[in-house]
Amino acid sequence: MRMKGCAFIFVIMLHSDISEIVNINMQRELKEICWSYIGRILSNGQELSIGIGCGYIAIVEHEFLHALGFYHEQSRYDRDDYVTINFENIQEGLSNFRIVGSDESTTHGVPYDYLSVMHYGKDDFTNGNGSTIITKDPKFQNLIGQRLEMSASDVQELNLLYKCSNFRNTLGLLVKDAGYFMYASTERGQEGDSAWLETKRMSPQRECHVQCLQFYYYNNGSQTDKLNIWIRDGCQKILPPGLPTSHWTLHHVPLNATKQFQVEFEVRKGAGNSTGGFSIDDINLSELECPDGTWQINDFERFWNSTHTPALIYSPRQYSSEGYAYRVALYLRQTDFGAYVQLVSGVYDDQLQWPCPQRQFTVQMVDQNPNIQLQMSRQMSLTTDPNLLTFTGTTMRPSMLITCMVDIILHLWKTSNPEITSKEGLPFSSSVYKAN
């Protein structure tokens, strides 16, 4: 059964030739199933289904890549050199583990990719008797089946398939272990001296007139130095510099430009002595709302590896645009971790609706890889629902944890008498930054 009124037309132009347009009629299914034909089957448009529980970027990419001609990675004709398929552990009647011969497919010379978004996981379609796929290289056994983002090899093969490889450096987004950033020294000069970085003039493309300026900065100068953000229409936004830091810091600045505008970064020397200055890098401007806050955990991998697991850690308290107080928690395990959002007591509680139905939480774990094609950030949204049932079919109590995915877990409800029952603060270097 399909949901009425939920069909959309996606037109993907990969060539300038109009004959190369792929016309896909995407259907939203009420059952938990996702599927697509392999390649172009119908000239006047074909169906692709995204069922309940499949609405994630990587899963949608997986199905669209099928429509664009991709088979599963473990179906490559050379797969037996890289994985072993345990057919006795596969559910009866499933044939997606068959090899597709070289007479039907090509690898384009791209090496076998354990991290492909088209690869099954080790336990996919198991009948309960063990793993269905064993990697010949044991290091990848727990990595196959990732559903974060297309891998670099997926991108490479798609470019080769559609002869787009000549455009791989479009917009200059790729870097190779090197690059440039703005650096303004405040070691010399007089108080009030400044350096400027200007963007080109830009025009809003959406009617909402909402923009978010995102960038990384590094301050190893004086606490009195300032980083100012100017909009050419005369508005000024000052970024509090805070304490000098040994880490690059992610920051967001909300803008509300209604006409053509230009963003200017000004570094102004303060009164104190300085042995450095301000550095700015990875500037991005999008027509989206800025996040309510950012929790940046420095040296996370080192901390994770040195922490006795399991361990639960919390961010400082933050506030949503409506005034709801919340905090983020990470539950660290030996091989993976869960991310939580938990409503906590705040100064505006007596002015807010409790419980808070139909509020959406969005959590994003940001990959800082400088190569935009290799970034694998994870984003998850969930809307609170007082009628939502648990996985056992019982009504969910406000204090219950809702497990949404393996690595994204959200705690979305608050009792009528909210209190923080755990200690505030963090046992390691971290910061929360509000968009300003």
Distance, CA of 23 to CA of 8 (rounded, Å): 10
Name the 3-class secondary structure at 365.
strand
Q: How far is CA 2 from CA 5, 25, 36, 130, in A?
A: 9, 13, 15, 34
Q: How far is CA 109 from CA 118, 120, 145, 159, 270, in A?
A: 17, 21, 21, 12, 57
Q: Of residues 20, 29, 47, 63, which has the active-site annotation?
A: 63
Distance, CA of 70 to CA of 75 (rounded, Å): 10
Which positions make up the binding site for Zn(2+)? 62, 66, 72
CA angle (147, 426, 367) in 5-degree steps? 25
For residue 5, what are its two tokens?
A: 């009124």
**HEC assignment per residue over 289-358:** CCCCEEEEECCHHHHHHHCCCCEEEECCCEECCCCCEEEEEEEECCCCEEEEEEECCCCCHHHCCCCCCC
Return the C-alpha torsion angle 396, 398, 403, 409, nearest 10: 160
Write down the H helix ranges in 88-237: 152-161
Q: Verify cis geometry, omega within 30 degrees of 0, for the bond prior to 355.
A: yes
Q: Catalytic annotation on 32?
A: no
Catalytic residue annotation: 63
